């Protein structure tokens, strides 16, 4: 890792134990470094996409819509309008003469055809350059159709996914407070920051409902416009992701007085902690809720821990690398790997803050590399240096692992197995075990020096 790129990036890379903690973050990506970050539009799209009964229209070139088509794979228990990808497909003539008329025609055609509960219109970079009045068109169409048509101001070449999260939160806030809160009781929550990639929000809802809590709105996994409109009637917002919907929780606290808790549903300790903290919040209203929380956690752990012990025996001492979108998930993954007897030797994120990285510094082992806004060149070098057994990341990190002959676990957009909750921890352990202990690694150049049969024997055991 030498040369000008590393010199400019050095302040965003920290090696625990070799130097005092100091991390520079929230910087624009280094030009030419092919950062793992996504654009502003992509950040807004991944947050809003799972609202299943809304129309999602990308106002921009067709490439923007293709890039984010079915980006979350978010499951729905009902409508699946979100799985369709609509775009105004701006061409050269639209750049010259403007795309407002094209946008209005598209909305006036799609809304009667699909009858959505609301429409989100995403303004992409080219729209910001040509100056289309997206907000004005949305306001006009909303008056004519009678449904909320909400502009998502997600233009920006220099911005990043975090700015897109904020644009999505502002768009959602247009809906919050516009619905009837009749029937919402004092023991009620909104679930923020889970996108139901593989049915996780149904697991978390079951936990909360077993505590006697009413879940008002999912924001946004398996989300419904009507639920979001009445979300201001809930007593508490439970926020999972550190970046995606935290801004919305803050807006709702300021405008509607709803407090929020930041939690994680990944890993044994953090799932239990989330249940206990939510129960503790409502304990003054329902004295029996803490007992129900203890029974729930005890019951789940009695089933889970004996099964984890088998995987821990085989995985003891193996090494993991973690690279996530937001840093909050990385905290939980470090703890989850410890439950499996594994060491996290590389951890980073696209949008972490100095506070996030300081916490990672505190909970990781000496020698761990902590990195902000990395790129394929850096990640590849670190993985080889640390002799990693498994890399946990998203769709953009998968090719890095495959090219280096390293096991991979998708903890982001494309996974099909739920990895949250207590049962999710078991699925995670199973996937890590299958990846790390596969006999295929005996045949890749990186592992040829190892005694043959070691890993195969572990798999058979």
**Tens of pLDDT, residues 178-230:** 999 999 999 999 999 999 999 999 999 999 999 999 999 999 999 999 999 99
Mean confidence (pLDDT) of the chain:
89
Residue 125, pLDDT above cutoff 60: yes
Per domain, the residue ranges of the chain are 40-173, 188-299, 316-415
Where does the pLDDT of residue 2 fall: very low under 50, low under 70, confident under 90, or very high at 90 and above? very low
**How is residue 113 written in tokens?**
């055809």
Cα R_g (the chain), whole angstroms: 23
Residue 461, pLDDT above cutoff 60: no
Partnered with residue 218 across adjacent β-strands are 191
Fold assignment, 316-415 = Rossmann fold (3.40.50)
Fold assignment, 40-173 = Rossmann fold (3.40.50)
Domain covering 188-299 in this structure, CATH number: 3.40.50.1980
Stated pTM of the model: 0.89
Q: How far is CA 240 from CA 32, 190, 245, 302, in A?
A: 32, 11, 8, 25
pLDDT, tens digit, for every residue of 316-358? 999 999 998 878 889 999 999 999 999 999 999 887 888 888 9
pLDDT, tens digit, for every residue of 280-316? 999 999 999 999 999 999 999 999 999 999 999 999 9
Predicted local confidence at residue 355, as pLDDT:
87
């Amino acid at each position: 890792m030498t040369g000008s790129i590393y010199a400019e990036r050095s302040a965003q890379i920290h090696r625990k134990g070799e130097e005092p903690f100091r991390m520079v973050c929230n910087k624009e990506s280094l030009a030419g470094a092919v950062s793992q970050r996504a654009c502003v539009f992509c950040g807004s799209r991944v947050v809003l996409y799972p609202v299943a009964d809304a129309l999602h229209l990308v106002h921009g070139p067709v490439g923007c819509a293709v890039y984010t088509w079915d980006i979350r794979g978010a499951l729905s228990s009902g409508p699946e309008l979100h799985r369709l990808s609509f775009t105004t497909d701006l061409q050269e003539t639209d750049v010259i003469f403007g795309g407002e008329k094209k946008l209005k025609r598209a909305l006036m055609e799609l809304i009667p055809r699909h009858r959505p509960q609301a429409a989100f219109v995403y303004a992409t970079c080219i729209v910001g350059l040509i100056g289309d009045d997206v907000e004005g068109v949305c306001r006009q169409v909303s008056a004519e159709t009678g449904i909320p048509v909400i502009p998502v101001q997600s233009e920006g070449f220099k911005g990043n996914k975090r700015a897109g999260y904020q644009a999505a939160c502002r768009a959602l806030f247009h809906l919050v407070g516009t619905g009837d809160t009749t029937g919402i009781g004092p023991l009620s929550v909104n679930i923020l920051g889970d996108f139901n990639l593989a049915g996780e929000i149904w697991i978390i809802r079951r936990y909360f409902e077993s505590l006697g809590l009413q879940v008002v709105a999912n924001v946004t996994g398996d989300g419904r416009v009507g639920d979001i409109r009445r979300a201001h009637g809930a007593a508490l917002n439970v926020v999972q992701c550190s970046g995606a919907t935290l801004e919305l929780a803050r807006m709702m606290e300021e405008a509607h007085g709803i407090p929020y808790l930041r939690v994680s549903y990944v890993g044994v300790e953090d799932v239990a902690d989330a249940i206990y903290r939510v129960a503790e919040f409502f304990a003054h209203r329902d004295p029996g809720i803490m007992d129900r929380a203890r029974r729930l956690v005890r019951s789940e752990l009695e089933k889970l821990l004996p099964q984890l012990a088998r995987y821990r025996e085989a995985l003891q001492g193996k090494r993991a690398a973690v690279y996530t979108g937001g840093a909050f998930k990385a905290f939980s993954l470090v703890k989850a790997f410890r439950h499996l007897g594994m060491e996290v030797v590389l951890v980073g994120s696209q949008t972490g803050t100095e506070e996030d990285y300081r916490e990672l510094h505190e909970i990781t082992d000496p020698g761990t590399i902590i990195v902000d806004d990395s790129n394929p060149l850096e990640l590849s070098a670190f993985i080889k240096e640390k002799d990693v057994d498994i890399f946990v990341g998203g769709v953009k990190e998968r090719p890095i692992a495959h090219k280096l002959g390293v096991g991979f676990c998708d903890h982001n957009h494309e996974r099909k197995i739920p990895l949250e909750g207590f049962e999710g921890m078991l699925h995670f352990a199973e996937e890590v075990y299958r990846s790390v202990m596969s006999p295929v690694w005996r045949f890749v150049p990186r592992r040829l020096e190892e005694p043959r049969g070691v890993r195969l024997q572990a798999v058979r055991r």
